[in-house]
Amino acid sequence: MTPITTTRLHELKDQVLSEKAAASSSVPPEVEHWLRIIHEEFTDPGLTVEELFARTEWKKNDIICRFRLCTGYSPKTYIRRLRVALGQKLIKTGYGDNLFQVAIAAGFETQSAFTKAFANCTGMTPSAYRGGRKFTRFFKGFFKLS
């Protein structure tokens, strides 16, 4: 098992962020601010939508509406997809020997939460993904999964 170094984790995190779907060039400043927070902190299990809502004066529904208009996803789904995409990178680069370690590094609190989100997003479990089975479902263009 290869240990996950902080430097390598940041490299993989940067790869995930660079592969995300290009955001509209006319993103309002408040959404840009929320995206910056998410991109900087999505690997922190403490980052929840409630935490995001607490950092702004905007109403919860206004944040969700504006965020969804700009990204196509709710903040919660966006964070989850970033975490799953990082988990995929970690598994593909050989850090997948220990799924608990991958789950924690990707920003999930438990391996169970990681497995559930992974299966929901990709249609397969992390173990099946590690084994090289074909996808049964895709992210609909959010991230390149190859």
Strand ranges (E), the chain: none
Report DSSP letters for 3-23, one per residue: ---HHHHHHHHHHHHHHSPPP
pLDDT per residue over 20-78, tens digit each? 644 445 788 889 889 999 999 999 999 998 988 888 888 889 999 999 999 999 999 99
The whole domain housing 80 covers 1-19+26-141
Question: Which of 69, 48, 52, 72 lies closest to 60, judged by CA?
Answer: 52
Tally of structural domains, the chain: 1
Q: Flag whether 121 is in a domain.
A: yes
Q: Flag whether 46 is in a domain.
A: yes
Q: Flag whether 146 is in a domain.
A: no
State the pTM of this model. 0.80
**Average pLDDT, integer, range 132-141:** 53
Are the C-beta atoms of 7 and 80 separated by less than 8 Å?
no
pLDDT band of 146, cuts 50, 70, 90: very low
The CATH number for 95's domain is: 1.10.10.60
pLDDT per residue over 56-71, tens digit each? 888 889 999 999 999 9
